[in-house]
A and B are shown apart, each in its own frame.
Chain A
Amino acid sequence: MNLLPISTPLGMIEPLLIVCGVGFAILLLDLVLPHSKKHWTGTIALAGVAWAFVRAVGQWGLEQRGYADMVVLDDLATLFNLLFLASTFVTILLSEPFLRSETVEQTEYYALLLFCTAGMMLLASALDLITLFLGIEVLSISLYVLAGYRRGSDASNEAAMKYFLLGAFASAILLYGIALTYGATATTNLSKIAEALTTAEAAFPAGLLLAGMAMILIGFAFKVALVPFHMWTPDVYEGAPTPITAFMSAGPKAAAFAAFLRTFFVAFGPIHGDWNMLLSVIAALTMTVGNVAAIAQTNVKRMLAYSSIAHSGYVLIGLVAGGNAGGTGAIFYLLAYTAMNLGAFAVVILLEHRGVGGDELRDYAGLGFRYPLIGATLSLFMISLSGIPPTVGFVGKLYLFGAAVQTGHIPLAVIGVLNSAVSVFYYLRLLVLMYMREPGEVLPPIRVPAAIGAALLATSVATLGVGIFPGGWMEAARQGVRALFS
């Protein structure tokens, strides 16, 4: 059914409205549903996300601006919306066992997840620093609560507190940066900032603008966990409920990158030379710190947290390279990373849930032969994360490093591949543990819940399938970038 014509302002943000609406509906339903029926809200949330996804698919190829040019609908926004909705869908699938085993409220959990998704979607469609800030805040505040959702656990509380305090600082800095940029260019609209920077070269106060840009950069750097603003990541990833950790490393990270991409390619595109060098140093640092620190971890969630930092560094290579190739590389990598990382977390959640050990690496000893299918799936994700073909992780890295080489950033590409070599060590350590060590205790048989099974199937098909036939995703990523330069 077509409730809202695409040309109307509301039709333009239809998927966003659906997600918000379902979120509110769930909150209201909570009042009337008896306790035994509360798990229905999960199904409703799934249906809502699926509906929004279908509507977002319908928006592919459409371009429109609205709300006084504060919101834009283009292929970049649509592509990211699809990514967010897909990752939220998978997260809901992964959350069901967690919510059932821990005695926590289900309804608010799903509602918060949906609001967070709405924030991400707004972020990807923001054409104005104000909407952008609005998106970031909606996203972040939902996440602060979700990170502390295991109320009984100290670690979870610590994660939420840390994330909230540091996140609030980062938001404040970002906001200050927006204010300074407004002071320098007299506008908060991304395209108009670019115009101001190209036409009135000498007219704006350079110091003010650069300070503003640097602060905006810091804000983004915090959200996507770039060195040296990454300190919160390991603690928050470790303490948060595992489905939320999985979610944070996928959707919100991609959302922050989407805004990062749009802000720096569109608004600050004209002064490319001023931020390029800085970003390439940050990229090199982020990859190196993330990978080297990951080696030393003994906890799977902390290891994946550092690995997520390292992967932010890889994506940043795309931003440094810039242009069509760099943008496409960054977007493709985000798609790839979401698929393979959600998959890896799905396995962690499954094992956690089934009481086969916990989050410690040593708990994985001997799993591979005891549970052949689970072992093979986790191996696939690890191989993909380390960038070995024929997986989507390899194609993504190939594209990113290719963009770097093409634009003459060969040292950065070399640092990138050396980092990949380092990362092979810790990713494949899971294979060592699973296949080359004996289990510490007798491992009980595992029955895979249908929801997690579906999530695993989807992510592994994407990881392997797109690894072998990357054409479709690549074309989508390319289309998305084209929207930036039109």
Chain B
Amino acid sequence: MFSILNRFYHQLGSPKEFYPISTVTTPIFGLLALALFIPGAYLGLVVAPADYQQGDSYRIIFVHVPAAWLSLMIYVIMAVAAAIALIWRMKMAFAVVICSAPIGAVFTALALITGSLWAKPTWGTWWVWDARLTFELILLFLYVGIFSMYHAFDERRIGERATALLSIVGVVIVPIIHYSVEWWSSLHQGQTVFRDGGPAMPPSMLTPLLLMAGSATFFYGYALFLNLRAHVLEENKGKQWVQGMAKKWIKRG
């Protein structure tokens, strides 16, 4: 058991080991994302019946909720990776932090925009300063701040460490967003899936929602690994193994 973990640690922690593994796993993530998207989108847009109160506008839920879940999940992954990076000085962990930030920012912005587009037909207003929206907006600023901090440093090594610490400090916001709908009486809908007693949603809605959420998660993995590969190549371009690979690319034409 320990030897397996040890091998896992060395393989994923080192960029050189990571690269060939990712050549195989990256397309798998991409295919899984697509495979879950097709039934999810079909069920959500075509099959699921219109909502009793909201009509067809509720179908935005199938992009809005996955985007929102992902905005929180990516930040948690970033913070955990940051902790691993700082404690065990693992290069790949730093890379995960830096490559996840832009993706997280996009999903957060998407959650806010699709939420706004859903709010207009439902609540009659594009925006309202209630707890959940406000804190999701703060999350967007956090992502942008992390991104800005990394690029402000000339020396990458210090930049990635500062960015990692910043991600950990910011993680306190995530539980606040999640619980904000309980703590403050909010216009935003309360928890319908992640609550005690199970989801309060009919299967016709829940199934496409979970499919889309799964698809989004695999897409994050896909995008992350694509960016990790580029990041690893950029950071290690002088190294033997990268040069060796480049020679092979030249030979292949």
Q: Are both chains from one complex?
A: no
Residues of A near any B CB (own CB < 8 A): none
Residues of B near any A CB (own CB < 8 A): none
